[in-house]
Amino acid sequence: MRLSQDKVVTELQHMPGWEWVSPGAIRKEFVFADFTGSVQFVGRTVHPANAMGHHPDIDIRYNRVLITLTTHDEGGVTAKDLELAQKLDLLE
């Protein structure tokens, strides 16, 4: 079930670095020492994403990885997005 923007923004207060982006997604930029660190991080996202059957949009820019999460089937952010975001934070 899609969460309201207010609910998501409230939850993100406990998730440093994550932000609400319109029209209904959350994102975070992860910063690493170099390109290798960025690619290694992306590799670590595979297992939790596949285990949940929920896959992020990933943009790699040298030492920066931008992760965007939304549940397309629901048309916005769901509890699944927040759960995956928390799992990805543990991979830093």
Please give the structure tokens belonging to residue 5: 């923007």
Annotated domain spans of the chain: 5-89
The helix or strand, by DSSP H or E, that contains position 60, with its residue range, turns out to be strand 57-61
Task: Tell me the whole-structure pTM to 2 decimals.
Answer: 0.95
Q: Count each helix (H run) and each strand (E run) in the chain, helices first.
A: 3, 4
Interval 52-75: pLDDT, tens: 999 999 999 999 999 999 999 999
pLDDT at 92 over 90: no
Please give the structure tokens belonging to residue 76: 């916005």
pLDDT band, very low/low/confident/very high, at 82 (cuts 50, 70, 90): very high
Q: Specify whether domain 5-89 bears CATH 3.40.50.300.
A: no
Sign of CA dihedral 65, 43, 32, 27: positive
